Every structure is written in C-alpha cells, then in structure tokens.
Amino acid sequence: MVRNARRWSGVASVAMATALATGLGGLLVAPSASAAAAVVAPLGARTYSVSSYYGPRCMPVASASTWHLGQDLGATSGTRINAIADGTVLRAGSVSGFGQWVVLRHTIGGKTVSSVYGHVIDGDKYVKPGQTVKAGQRIADVGSTGISTSPHLHLEVWNGTYGSGASHTDPLAYLKGKGVDLGRDATRVAARSTATSCTYYTNAAVDVRAGAGTGAVVARVARGAPVVGRPGDESGTWGRVTSGRAPGWVAAASIGPTKPAPVSTPPVTKPPAPQPAPKPSAPQPATRYVTAASLNLRASATTSSAVVARLAKGTKLAVASTSGGWLKVTANGRTGWVSAQYTSTSAPAAPAKPAPAKPAPPKAATSYVTASSLNLRASASTSSKVVARLGRGSVVTHAGTASKGWLKVTAGGRTGFVSTAYLSAQKPR
C-alpha cells in the first residue's frame, strides 16, 4: 500500500507541475486505467510458482530442447491465463511440442512484440486467430499438453512478429522492465540451475558423428550408455556430447535424461513332443486338386517334416493313400504328403483377371520449416513419439495432402508427420 501511495503521489506532483506551467491552476487529471496497466501478469497473484528459467538447461525430458526459449510458471491445471497486453491472436489450437497453444501480437511502447502461451488446455476455447484481445482478458487455461512433465504455463516473449524473423528474449526480465514482477507475486521461486554438464542416456544404439549431421562416425554407443553434454549446446535437432573420450554430435531425439529399461527376452519354450503317426484310413478319390494359394508337399505326414516342394493353386494330385488328415500324393514328378483340408475333388475356378494398375504416385513436393525447431512425429498427433527435430529452413518432401493440420513428410532420411502451420513453399530468410 505504501508503494502505491508513493506512486500516485508522484503522479499527482507531475500533474500539478504541468497544470501550473500551462496556467491551468488546480486542474489535475489522473492517468487512465488502460495507460497505467499496459502490461499485466499472465497469471493471477499467488496462483503460480516460478520454475524452469529462460536460457540454457539440461534436457528435462526426452526430445526437449536444451535451450529454453521461455519461462515456466507452475500452476494448478485449469488456472486462468491472461493476455499480457492488448493484441491480436496469431495462432490458437494444437501444435507440435506444446500440444495446445495461443500466440498473440502486441504493440507495446511503439514496438511489435509477440507472446506465446504453451501447454494450455484447448487453445482455441476462448480465442480464435484474427481476434483482438485486451490486456488481462482470459485467453486460455493452464494445462500439461504436449511434451510436459506437469501442469504449467510456458511463456515466451519475442521482439517482432512470431514466426517472421523475430528474436526471443527473457520473459521475466522483459515483464519486470514493464513493471510486472512475476517473482514478487509467486508462491515459490525456484533457484536457477548452475549445472555445467548434463548426463543423458541413449534410447537405442547411436552413432556419434563428427558434426551436427549425418557425417563421419567417430564412435558407436550402445543402448542405455551414458553420454555427457553441456546446457544449451545444440544445433537444430543435434546435440553436442562426449562419450567416454570421444566428443561429437548425436540426434537429440536419441538421448534423454533417464536410462531406458532393459529389453526383456521371451522365455524359451520346449517344442511339443512328437505324436505317433496316425493309422491309415480308407483311401480317398484317386485325383484331387490344390485349393490353397501355396501348399507344402512334405516328406512325412507332419508339419515338422521337411518340405519337398511347394504346390501352386490348381495343381493336380495323384492320391496313393491317406493317414489321418494327410494324403500321400504325387505331383509334378515328386511324391510326399499334403494336408487334405487344402485339396478338393474338383479343380478350382480360373483366377480372376488382375486389377488395372494403379496410377503412379504424385511427384514429391518440397516445403521448408519456418519454426525455429519443429518436431517430426511418428504419427499425426502431438502425443506421438518424436522421430526428429527439424531446424528452421530444413527441407521436407511430401507427396500426399494435409489432413487436420498434419502432413506426412520426409526430411534427412526420416519419415514422419509435422504440423502444416510451420511449413512454407518459400525458404525462410
């Protein structure tokens, strides 16, 4: 309360001085509420904790970046999220990595600024792209969608229009410079990490490369082996690590902070005891035909005996004797045993004419990644496995069409699905 009283006292003094200088006597005009609150906190006071900070960090979960582009604010799932300033909605809904998000563009202090709100619940529940919003307006709710370990708001601040060459900055420092101290109103403020190295484990056998790409192999690391990296030491989808004494680069998607569980081997089962040969039964018709697409002619009346030949559908069989469900036959100059259930006394009908050849697939089109980092996923879902991380300007090829905001592409020898929101026919500058 003292702090506010001093602030308004200062305002009143300035207003009085201005009035006297212009000859207006005792006329005092207080600043408007909108002018006093151009920038506000994204979460209500005492509803959040300050956790993972902007900047370099150890990988918190597999496939996560080691350079944190935003500030994490831990909160209960469903906590209201507010727009930090007046602005326009650029994006809202699902996205790779964040799961669900909202992106706003503002004009603050005469400069274009963008704010990103990640891991939210139903990003398009309260706002839609193109909609204008006011500072403090509810735009989303705290969630734990996408690559996340617990409910929190991931807040980013960009100088410029997001996705158009803007540069990221520290949200804590930026908001504090605008009079919003997130640490002051938090229930807890985590200590900043001072780690200089990070230990990760490979989730498969991994080649350690000489550079950030599929270049020369300097070492081969087994699944579950430890490698050591430094916070923020990455390039696109590649991370710099040291395996033993061998420094190099590995795909970021191939390492994580936890050691994978050992692969279990199925128990060895004993083969069934051999059964006595069945007694011969009454003879079958002298001539039969193969009804299966391919039928094994075996050395004896058992599925464990050697295959003498494979008989095509319609092959004529000369039956010599029977034993249980087996027939001793001669076909194509070879004698052996076949299963009676795949034969018939009548020849099968002639095969249908083959279907017309399918048209050749469309030629692959080329697009470019516009985001700073884009997840290549195993399927068209934000919950599916991340196959690789594609850097800005990465070339992807595709032959199909997009479905529900997802497109199947190939990049760097890997195939998966990406969000079409971060693809362009033109290579970004």
Residue 263 lies in a domain: no
Predicted local confidence at residue 426, as pLDDT: 86
| The Cα angle at residue 259 between residues 374 and 68, in degrees rounded to 5 | 35
Mean pLDDT rounded to a whole number for the chain: 84
Domain count, the chain: 5
* 101 or 28, higher pLDDT: 101
Residue 282 lies in a domain: no
Residue 272 lies in a domain: no
Q: Are residues 53 and 131 in the same domain?
A: yes
Tell whether the model's pLDDT for residue 10 goes beyond 60: no
Q: Is 6 helix (H, G, I), strand (E, B) or coil?
A: helix
What would you measure as the largest C-alpha separation in the chain, in angstroms? 128
Predicted confidence (pLDDT) per residue in 139-184, tens digit = 999 999 998 889 999 999 999 999 988 999 999 999 999 999 999 9
Tell whether the model's pLDDT for residue 341 goes beyond 70: yes
Residue 315 lies in a domain: yes
Predicted confidence (pLDDT) per residue in 188-246, tens digit = 999 988 889 999 999 889 899 989 888 888 889 999 899 999 988 888 888 899 988 88
Residue 261 lies in a domain: no
Q: Are residues 205 and 318 in the same domain?
A: no
Predicted confidence (pLDDT) per residue in 105-116, tens digit = 999 999 999 999
What DSSP designation does 341 have?
A: G
pLDDT grade for 24, boundaries at 50, 70 and 90: very low
Q: Cβ neighbours of residue 144 under 8 Å, at least 6 residues apart? A: 77, 119, 150, 151, 152
Predicted local confidence at residue 102, as pLDDT: 98
pLDDT, mean of residues 280-304: 82
Cα end-to-end distance, the chain, whole Å: 50
Q: Which of 140, 271, 249, 258 has its CA nearest to residue 202?
A: 258
CATH number for 206: 2.30.30.40
Q: Are residues 136 and 229 in the same domain?
A: no
User: Residue 41: how many CA atoms within 13 Å on its side-chain side?
Assistant: 18
Q: Are residues 133 and 75 in the same domain?
A: yes
Domain that holds residue 381: 365-424
Q: Is 61 exposed, middle or buried (0-12, 13-18, 19+ CB in 10 A)?
A: exposed
Q: What is the dihedral of CA 318, 323, 325, 331, to 10 degrees?
A: -20
pLDDT grade for 118, boundaries at 50, 70 and 90: very high
Q: Are residues 153 and 78 in the same domain?
A: yes
Predicted local confidence at residue 21, as pLDDT: 34
Q: Are residues 130 and 55 in the same domain?
A: yes
Residue 271 lies in a domain: no
Tell whether the model's pLDDT for residue 11 goes beyond 60: no
CATH number for 56: 2.70.70.10
Q: Are residues 7 and 110 in the same domain?
A: no
Q: Are residues 203 and 322 in the same domain?
A: no
Q: Are residues 55 and 173 in the same domain?
A: yes
Q: Are residues 327 and 411 in the same domain?
A: no
pTM for this model (two decimals): 0.53
Predicted local confidence at residue 357, as pLDDT: 67
pLDDT grade for 283, boundaries at 50, 70 and 90: low
Q: Are residues 79 and 158 in the same domain?
A: yes
Q: Are residues 56 and 26 in the same domain?
A: no
Q: Which of 389, 399, 400 has its CA nearest to residue 422?
A: 389
Predicted local confidence at residue 360, as pLDDT: 60
Residue 238 lies in a domain: yes
Predicted local confidence at residue 8, as pLDDT: 31
d(CA 160, CA 138): 23
Predicted confidence (pLDDT) per residue in 352-406, tens digit = 676 676 666 557 788 888 888 889 999 988 889 988 998 888 888 887 788 888 8
